Amino acid sequence: MAQSGQLELKAIGWGRAPHVFAETDREAYPDRDISDEVKKGFTVNDQKDMQRMGKKQELRRNFRLISTIGFTTCVMGTWEILLTSNTPGLIAGGRPGLFWSLVWAYCGQTFIVLSMAEMSSMAPTAGGQYHWVSEFAPRKYQKFLSYASGWLSTISWQSIVALDAYLAGTIVQGLISLTHEDYLPTRWQGTLLVFAAAIGMSLFNIFGAKHLPLAEGIFVTCHFFAFIPVIITLLVLAPKAHAKDVFTGFTDYGAGWPSVSWTVMVGQVSCMFVVLGSDSVAHMSEEIENASVIVPKSMVWAFLLNIPFAFGLLLSYLFSMPDVDGALGSPTGFPFIYVFRQAVKNTAGAAVLVVIILVLIVMITISSLASASRQTFAFARDNGLPFSSWLAAVHPTLHIPVNSIIFTCLFSLVMSLINIGSTVAFNALLSLSTVALMATYLISTGCVIVRRVYKNPPLPPSRWSLGRFGLPVNILAMIYASWSFFWSFWPNAHDVNAENFNWASVLFVGLMGISAVLYWVHARKVYDGPVVKVEGRKFH
């Protein structure tokens, strides 16, 4: 029996249901007040994991397997994001460029998802990549690598939310252009619409937090069932392109690179971004019951479930676009709106389909904002960010990091200002989120490889394991992440100017430069990395 005031923790086998603290535990443990545990709903394995990682349970664990899969599926929003963010890929490579880039992206991302799933089972914490790096990196490098990973993860997820909010706001502007032909859209109006979208979805995350699992169930239902009217409309009503144009007719629609192959390499970033998001569930780990099993399962299942929808949508979309030049030149700013309009032959019908997509994008942004705010909260909890005590605060009655949600909203507002001065704000956010997230995959997977090879100390036990396939899967994940990291910095056009330059490189270097300055000035004195609190790895 454990000492007074503490609960003895025993591992639970795979074949048994997870033990949840219940009223009967009062008889078994009369010296422990477990009212909070009953309310927060965590299992013995959750308690054991949190104790091993040196973390306090502050958030309510109200997500279960189905709602967690729904959450992850919704954050990824693969077919919706693919439909609304394909313009860069369409310009650089045309229809075949998009299709084959998605095939390649899914092949490579599979190894990253499997690697992250195993890491999330070893250490199910809202910190995600930066915690894994801290725990798995060699002692000499863990502090700095963990700090860098934390900043990269924060930048990537904040950028993803900003991009999703940008899509929501500008789709509204595209809808207005569709229904009012005399409307002349301006970038500042689009920015104000992004402001409204970001603020509205942040308020939902704050005041609707208790109902987020239920909302995720509704979201994922809409995610699957809204696919049907969209796909049927395109397959039945839209004019059709020839198969050779879709699969082999590689074309440069204005990128201007010296060769088509080079053009396709640059354009693949659109599809790389589409398949991201599986690690979102890792940042919700401390709100998921039986997280060391549910989180990796959710990562893999959500990733697999989205594959047929992504390819079904893309093929229908590409075959329904015989006039690529017309789609790219649409006054709405979105090729998919042009395709809808050409399919249904009337404005009202196209507007209904656009509204369906807009609602889904709003749902995706709500889910992404929840994940991003939890990641920010976790990194601040370990003193990795400025104003950490404020960002890491958990609201006493809502049991969510309200301040981190507010910060995420403010970041989206600031990033949306890029749209006023440049037409490539979307490209910048897309590339920034991709390159930063790929960097976290590179560092965390590299640290796991080192631990697998040297086994000093061995990796923590995992309830969801890759077994003997772990090392080759991790190596392939690093190869793909390196490839994606490299191409994400390239501008979409060969002849670069201030308007079409890939500003992600400037944002990335600038933000990481700020993090380096903060590290040497302040963070290195207060940030030790979460590993100092982990059982068996307590060192300074």
User: Tell me: the pLDDT tens digits for 421-473?
Assistant: 666 777 788 888 899 999 999 999 999 999 998 887 788 888 899 988 999 99
pLDDT in tens, 173-211: 999 999 988 888 888 888 899 999 999 999 999 988 777
* Residue 354: burial class (beta carbons within 10 Å; 0-12, 13-18, 19+): buried
In this prediction, what percent of the chain has a pLDDT beyond 90?
A: 44
Q: How many of the other CB atoms lie within 10 Å of CB of 350?
A: 24
pLDDT in tens, 505-520: 888 899 889 999 988 9
- What is the pLDDT, as a whole number, of residue 534? 62
pLDDT in tens, 520-536: 988 888 887 777 666 55
Q: Which of 315-319, 325-329, 416-420, 518-522 shows the lowest per-residue confidence on average (mean pLDDT)?
A: 416-420
Mean pLDDT across the chain, nearest whole number? 84
Q: Which of 17-21, 137-141, 459-463 shows the lowest per-residue confidence on average (mean pLDDT)?
A: 17-21
Q: Which segments of 139-243 are extended strands (E)?
A: none
CA 329, CA 338: separation in Å to the nearest integer? 9
Q: Which of 120-129, 231-240, 353-362 shows the lowest per-residue confidence on average (mean pLDDT)?
A: 120-129
- Residue spans per domain, the chain: 63-456+464-524
CB 142 within 8 A of CB 531: yes
CA 242, CA 342: separation in Å to the nearest integer? 17
Question: Which positions ≥6 away from 38 have C-beta within 8 Å?
Answer: 21, 22, 23
The three-class DSSP label of residue 374 is: helix
Q: Which of 3-7, 247-251, 270-274 shows the lowest per-residue confidence on average (mean pLDDT)?
A: 3-7
pLDDT in tens, 257-272: 999 999 999 999 889 9
Q: Which of 188-197, 302-311, 325-334, 524-533 shows the lowest per-residue confidence on average (mean pLDDT)?
A: 524-533
- What is the pLDDT, as a whole number, of residue 475? 96
Q: Which of 87-96, 167-176, 278-287 shows the lowest per-residue confidence on average (mean pLDDT)?
A: 278-287
- What is the pLDDT, as a whole number, of residue 77? 81
Q: What is the torsional sign of CA 364, 370, 374, 380?
A: positive
pLDDT at residue 217 tops 90: no
In this prediction, what percent of the chain has a pLDDT beyond 70?
A: 90
CA 321, CA 300: separation in Å to the nearest integer? 32
CA 109, CA 112: separation in Å to the nearest integer? 5
98 versus 395: the higher-pLDDT residue is 98
The three-class DSSP label of residue 196 is: helix
What share of residues in the chain are helix, strand, coil (percent, to 5)?
A: 70, 0, 30
CA 24, CA 37: separation in Å to the nearest integer? 13
Q: Please give the C-alpha separations between residue 93 and each of 272, 328, 337, in angstroms, as whole numbers.
A: 15, 13, 20
- What is the pLDDT, as a whole number, of residue 381? 87
Q: How many of the other CB atoms lie within 10 Å of CB of 389?
A: 10
- What is the pLDDT, as a whole number, of residue 242? 93
pLDDT-derived band at 48, boundaries 50, 70, 90: confident
Pick the CATH number of 63-456+464-524 from 1.10.260.40, 3.40.50.300, 1.20.1740.10, 3.90.180.10: 1.20.1740.10
pLDDT-derived band at 404, boundaries 50, 70, 90: very high
CA 458, CA 463: separation in Å to the nearest integer? 15
> Can you list the alpha helix ranges (DSSP code H) found in 345-469?
347-381, 388-391, 402-416, 418-421, 425-454
CA 298, CA 279: separation in Å to the nearest integer? 10
* Residue 286, H or E segment: none
CA 100, CA 89: separation in Å to the nearest integer? 11
411: Cα separation from own chain's centroid: 16
pLDDT at residue 3 tops 70: no
CB 348 within 8 A of CB 357: no
* The Cα angle at residue 342 between residues 339 and 344, in degrees rounded to 5: 105
